[in-house]
A and B are shown apart, each in its own frame.
Chain A
């Protein structure tokens, strides 16, 4: 046995190594199952999948890409949070600071934004594929509903993030996008029957969303918390349910 082999054996047989890696890397059926079932990340998968379901032409990979985009926005988003202050005085200046002074600042912001757009597109295509393969049919009906909730949350995540640069593009896009809340029947002051409920510009659905009658610093803080904490938490919970149900029901496919 060479010295290299001997050292390798000593390492892989040590208590520390074996406490972390519980099985070898030999390509045996048992190890293949353990690779998946014994790994917290990979055990989102069943340890065996139907052959047709992993073909690119069948799956399009869009659900996985949506999740990947989510992870990219989480990593880049945490980086951006270190340098961004959600107040009207500093927010825009911090964007410039990110662009010109921070190492990788602009790169991280670009990745964050493009991954967010990519996530919206991927989640739509994922829904389209799941519809085409009829994968929402029993027993997976409720998982489709969870998927629709995640689709809405994805767009809300993107929408709340849109405001944070605090430039002309962001406040006006969010103003236009939120004006619909002002027109909610009964609950918005420009909507039908507002005078019955007493909805007014500073006390209606849009004011609740904005934290005030007009878009302003209070809105920035509100959207920041929704964007960075509240919606990601809620989306993560629904993602857990979504993935767990796929795991339970197995990948859809034609009857065997």
Chain B
């Protein structure tokens, strides 16, 4: 009985709310919601008497299976209804944006890419467009695709296992949460005119001037000539990858043993360390830029890192 009262209460509340939403009345929403709630009530009914006997029947040695109908289909149906309800409500309350007509002669400041690409746009602060916009996205896609082939850890196949997959999960966390998601948040909420940094409580001042005091790395080391800069940058960048790969080799052998490295194989190791060093290079470049005002590590007339 209390179950029926619960659904009745929800139905009443939703009906009352939808009547007050502008346009809600027109869309026959209250009636729609009543219908959906009746459906929900029906779908949320616990499985029939049959469930227990069937589970017992299905249980052979080591068999933990249940029938897809109704067990899985019911959750999917409920989930679909709730998500659709949420989407309908959201769409009634929040309108999709529409600004003035397209005008190729009036560039808004700031011009932002769609929010899911703002992480890449934020990377433009640290890298040239060919690197931030083309090379790094390619590495992201290739790197994601490579994951199942470079991860030969048999642990955690199909279940949550944090202890035995520490490094895998930490790396994914660094790439996905720390870099991809937080850069999107920065790009969306903290970048204003001129792609300058504005805190949420600051007014977007399009005349804000930030002194550009960035210098290239070779400049700090007192190198002034073009040839010197090219050689210096090449040594630093190539050195980073050579030393980094060697360090990773050493660290992995130390942590996992020579036997693991042998089983893992050189192609997997080289691909993994290359991708990982690229991931870390983003972090290093961000620190150098934000904390040390470094523009390029390697500047040449053709290409800059």
**Residues in A lying within 8 Å of B, measured CB to CB:** 27-29, 32-33, 35-36, 42, 45-52, 54, 56, 58, 61, 64-65, 68, 72, 88, 92, 95-96, 99, 104, 106-107, 109-115, 117-118, 120, 124, 127-128, 131-138, 140-142, 144-145, 148, 151-152, 155, 158-159, 162, 165-173, 175-177, 179-185, 188, 190-193, 214-216, 251-256
The answer to whether A148 touches B133, judged by C-beta atoms less than 8 angstroms apart, is: no
Report B189 CB to chain A, min CB distance, Å.
Answer: 16
The answer, yes or no, to whether B260 is at the interface (CB within 8 Å) is no
Residue numbers in B under 8 Å from A99 (CB-CB): 98
The answer to whether B134 touches A185, judged by C-beta atoms less than 8 angstroms apart, is: yes
> A192's contact among B67, B101, B102, B302, by CB below 8 Å, is which?
B302
CA distance A250 to B5 in the complex (A): 39
Tell me the nearest residue of chain B to A46, going by C-beta.
Answer: B68
Q: State which of B76-84, B203-211, B274-282 sits at the interface with chain A.
A: B76-84
Mask, B243-284, CB within 8 Å of A = 1, is 000000000000000000000000000000000000000000
Q: Could you tell me which residues of chain B, from 139 to 158, have a CB within 8 Å of some CB in chain A?
A: 141, 144-145, 147-149, 151, 154-158
Q: State which of B57-65, B216-224, B232-240 sits at the interface with chain A.
A: B57-65
The answer, yes or no, to whether B25 is at the interface (CB within 8 Å) is no
Tell me the nearest residue of chain B to A99, going by C-beta.
Answer: B98
Q: A115-B87, A181-B133 are in contact. List 7 more A-B contacts (CB 8 A).
A: A65-B83, A109-B96, A110-B92, A167-B98, A177-B114, A180-B132, A191-B134
The answer, yes or no, to whether B48 is at the interface (CB within 8 Å) is yes
Residue numbers in B under 8 Å from A109 (CB-CB): 96
The answer to whether B76 touches A48, judged by C-beta atoms less than 8 angstroms apart, is: no
Q: Could you tell me which residues of chain B, from 25 to 80, have a CB within 8 Å of some CB in chain A?
A: 27, 48-50, 54, 57-58, 62-73, 75-76, 79-80
Tell me the nearest residue of chain A to B57, going by C-beta.
Answer: A29
Between-chain CB contacts (< 8 Å), 10 pairs: A29-B54, A33-B69, A52-B64, A88-B102, A118-B87, A142-B148, A158-B116, A177-B117, A180-B134, A252-B158
> A183's contact among B68, B73, B80, B133, by CB below 8 Å, is which?
B133
The answer to whether B130 touches A42, judged by C-beta atoms less than 8 angstroms apart, is: no
CA distance A151 to B302 in the complex (A): 33
Report A163 CB to chain B, min CB distance, Å.
Answer: 9
Report A118 CB to chain B, min CB distance, Å.
Answer: 7
